[in-house]
Each structure stands twice: as C-alpha cells, then as structure tokens.
Structure 1
Amino acid sequence: MSTPSRSISSLASVHTLPKAVAGGLDEIPRNPGMALDLGWLEDMRAVNRSALERRATTLTKRRSIKADNQAAWLLRAISLMDLTTLNSNDTADRVERLCAKAKHPLRADLIAGLGLGDTLIRPAAVCVYHPFVATAVRALEGTGIHIAAVSTSFPHGLAPLETRIAEIRASVADGADEIDVVIPRGLVFGARWQELYDEVRRFREACGDAHLKVILGTGDLATLRNVMLASMVSMMAGADFIKTSTGKESVNATLPVGLVMTRAIRSYAERTGFKIGFKPAGGISTAKSSLDWLILMKEELGRRWLEPDLFRFGASSLLTDIERQLEHHLTGRYSAAHRHAMA
C-alpha cells in the first residue's frame, strides 16, 4: 500500500532543526589539547553515582516528544549517525551496500510522505574497519558523508603502540577523515594517567587533519569515576570526540555514563573554551532510545550539541527502527523490518 502524502506546510516541524545561530552554525575550532593537569583530575574524582542514576531516570520522563515533533527529531537522529559495520564477516560488497544505504537512508515514499522535498537527510559518516576504508571512500565520493575508521587494535587496544599508530596513519592515507581509537583499559585501572595521555597525544598527531574520536570502553571501566577521569585525560590529550563504547563490551552506552561524559565535556569547555564532541555507541537500536540521548544532550549541553560536528550515534540497526517509526507516523501501521534493509 502506498504511503499517503502530506502537505509540506503541515509538516514544517518535520524538517531539520533550525541552525544553532542566526546565519549558520558557529565554527568549532579543534581542541588543541593541553598539558596533563593532575590537580584538575583530582578535583573531578567526586562522582555521585546515585545522583546520576536518579537524574538519568527522571531525565527522559520529563520530556515527551510526539507526532510531527517526534518525526522531526528522528530525522535529526539520522543526520547524527555514524552508520557502522564492524563484523568479522564484513566484505567489500557489504560495505558498498552500507554506503548505498547511507546515500539514500529513507525510502522515496517516506520522503514524499513527509513532505521533505529536496531536503537532504543523510548520516554524518560511515564507520568501517581499516581494510574497507578505500572502498567506502570510492562509494561515498562527492556525498559529503565522512569516512570513519576504527583503529588502534580495535576493540581491545592491546597491540604494540607503534603498530596502533601505524594503523591510524594507514587509514588516513586511504582517505579516512575520522579515526575512532580505543584506549587500553588497563591504563585507567592502574591510574597511569601520564601514559594514557601520551598515547592519546600520539594518536592525535598521527591523525593529522582527521578528527580523533577516543573510545573509552566504558562497560569495561567498572566505575563512573574511571569514566570521568578517562574522559578528562583524553580531552586534555587533544580528543575531538569522546565515545562510550566499542559495541563489543557486555555493557555499552548507558545514560548514567552519558551524563558523566557530558559533564566532563561541559567542565572542559568552561575551563578551556573548546567544545568536545560526544558519541554514544553500542546498544542504541531503537528510535525511543535515540530520543532519550537527544534529550540528554539538549538538557546537559544545549542546542549546539545537536549537530553532527558535536554529536554522533554509533549505530548499525538504529536506522531500521527509525524508518519503521516514520512509516508508522505516516500510516498508523508498523512495517516489517525487511522493508528497510541495511546492507
């Protein structure tokens, strides 16, 4: 059955959210990093788990996004995705299909039904293993979609340092303009902050002009205090983004962890003036959960963090559920997942 069309005027709120400042977005200067400040780390050690969990529980219940507004926020969520395939059975063909989906994330009937016209809705990036960077670069040429490569012995980060740095350089040489690196979690457990700082600093140098996203592996870090301190060290070392998870841990992105990391970002911005991006990844597979994260960002960091230069979802199956929700918005019925194939 065809999707009924609705007038553009009735769906004005479905179009992408307005620019953050009049005349366009303010440009975000890259974080140059700073010297490791152990005194500041000591000041950030006090993390109140019960208060954070209480805040996370009430945060999303205080906001309700319905109807056309919900559709608009879901379209925004698509534009904030790093569409990802990080499987042991990845092939060049699979990556090419994912790139084709990135170029056309919504079916034509949904675009017509939502009254989007020529408004272009696309994910911010496609994220792949190093061997598929060149494939993604060819497939996405001219689209403006970024190519992100996971690096530094993903997902555990336990290869020799020079091997990890060489992997970053190889991905940049192949055309990746964003590098998602993973830290060795043992450095956090041992409070080896200088060593962690030095490693991330070298990752930043190896990235050159490519943006650096530092994956903390929060599900492995045991405490929210460790999450806070690892976030701060990574930003001091020059991270452009801090990211929750590899998606391979038993526990991935959670709202309490997100609160800790966004408050670390706020503290860093207040002291240095540099805005750091945030990327939750792993386990974010439903449209409802994407709205929860958007609410958290708006409440904790403000409107500017609802743009792809400061916020990303690490997502593999999220797009499918968002498409299903948008179809339900138009027709009142949920479609089968196979109608929204990913790759």
Structure 2
Amino acid sequence: MALADRYDHQPGVHCGAAALRNVTAHYGLTYSEAACFGIGGGPAFVLYEDPDEPWVRVRTSPTWLERAFFERTGIPHLFREGDDFETAWDNATARVDDGDPVILFLDPAPLDYVPDDPSHVPPHTAVMIGYDDERVHLSDGAAESTVEISRETLAAAWSDDRYLPLRNEYLVVTRGRATADDTDAAAAGLRQAATYMLDPLQVKRDARGPGEEGVPALQSFADYLGAWPDLPEPARPVSAARRSIDEHGEGAAFRSLYADALAELGRSTGLGQALADRMERVADEWRTVAGLLDEILAAEDPGPSRFEEAGSLVGDIADREEAVFETLADELGEVRTD
C-alpha cells in the first residue's frame, strides 16, 4: 500500500479541525485543534430540511471550515470538486504518491467505523494517507487510530445527493508554509464567526442548504423542539438532535472547543479570558440540553412538558450565544464578511 510518509494520526474533537491540525503538522506547522477550529470560523448552527423526514436536521459547525482555514493562513492549497470518481481517484492517489495527505469531504453514512452517526450532516472530513487497488487508508479524527475502507465504500461516501450534495471533493496542500500573519488569520476567523452567528446572510460562504443559520436558526430550533411531541415518531428527531449536539463525543455542540479557541486565539488578538469563560458556560448549557434529550429518549411517555423544557433551554442558549458574539464583534472592531 502506498502511504504518505511520516504522517502522524491524532484523534480529535472535530473531524475537520483535527484533520487540519494533523495535515499542517505533516508539513512542520504547529496549530492546535482549537486554533484550527477558530481560524476556520467555527462554530455554527444550521437547520437542514430533509425531504425524507418531517423534521429538520442540525449541524453545529461550518461546512466551509477547512477551506477558510487555508485561505486565512495563506497556506497554498488546491480544492477541487465535481470530477467523476475515477478522475478524482487518480488525482488524489497521485498526491499520496508524492507524499501529500489529501483531505476528503465525505458522507458519513457509508462509513461503518463512524459509530452510530446516521444523523451527522455531511460533509464529514477525513484524510487519505494511503491506498492500493482495493483499499483506502484514512486518518479520521473521529477514530482513535487510522482505518481502512474499501474503494467501493469511498466511492459511495465521496459523492452523494441525500439532502446535501457532495461531488468528489478534496483539498491538498501544495506548499507547506503559511504566508499570512497568524494574528490576522485568528482575528479574521473570530470576526467571521461573530458575523455569521449574528447575521448569517452577511457571510459570503455556502452552508450548502436552504435552511436557517446562526442565532436565528437556534431560535427556530427551540420552537421545533417544543412541537416535536405532535410528530408520529418524536424519538427520531430527538435522537438525531442529541447526536448532533454530541457529534464525535464533544457533547456541547462544539462550544467547548470554541471556548478553547477563544482562550488561545484571544491571547494574540487582545481578547480577555472572560469571553472564553462565558462560552464555556454556554457549552455547559448545551450539555444540560443533551442530558434532557437523553431523559426524553429514556422515558416511556415523556409528555409535551419535557419537550417544552428542552425548547426553553435552547431559547436561553440562543440569547446567551447572541450576547457572546455581540461582545466578540465589539471587541474585535470592524466585522468583516471574509
């Protein structure tokens, strides 16, 4: 099997941020997972309409995080999508032959090593580090060690039309050096997160879905939760929402990871520790919501009041997140749409 030499797999909290940390480390660059998440513009909140279900799905991190990270750090890279499988395969494997790990954007549903995650809204990020005629060797932050999948599984995961289109997308570093100032990159990522959560239409990036985004989506999600008892199978959307909040085991809609990003990147951008502490308290509230959803799932008949309680908690979170991001925007000055 051809392998990208000296690649060091490390698991992480967020599949994309972990991939960024691991890939940049391969080129001798030092970014923590939290810094990658913050520079990339995390976190997010997006509602997706699923044509096969009478309820919305939730994503709590940006679909553009990896591309935005490379753009802001100025690390030369190539992003490509839309090729047929054979062309994308030939291009990606040629880069592995040259020793370059290749970031892939996948539908997680066909990936049987991703545990119990059918509700994970694509794309899921993994890194191709090796291959042969029949198998692909992946570094995935959601897994403790590297994994192998068949070429057929890759083909099924790499292109999909479920409710969020994927077209054999990949990203590869073309020169392993940062050309932008790290402080500028950090400030740009933090600014975009504030802009996106407060006024998502001002951010010229595609969340790949027609649903609501940012704090307005959080407020709508609170209303959805309160109405779910009227659905024929309310446990299904509750279970999906629970897994979205706890995606890859973080347990707090990636708000704890973002608190770490605010603490680390804040030291170079003039932010105080208080803002990171406030976000960590928001993460604790997300954990409370996750626990309440667990109780609803375990109850034989939870009753509408438990759903209303969960919706009220999410509404409170929306208010708290709005206040945090307003403070972030104020402290960083002019809000940009990059």
TM-score with structure 2 setting the length: 0.25
Q: TM-score, length-normalised on structure 1?
A: 0.25
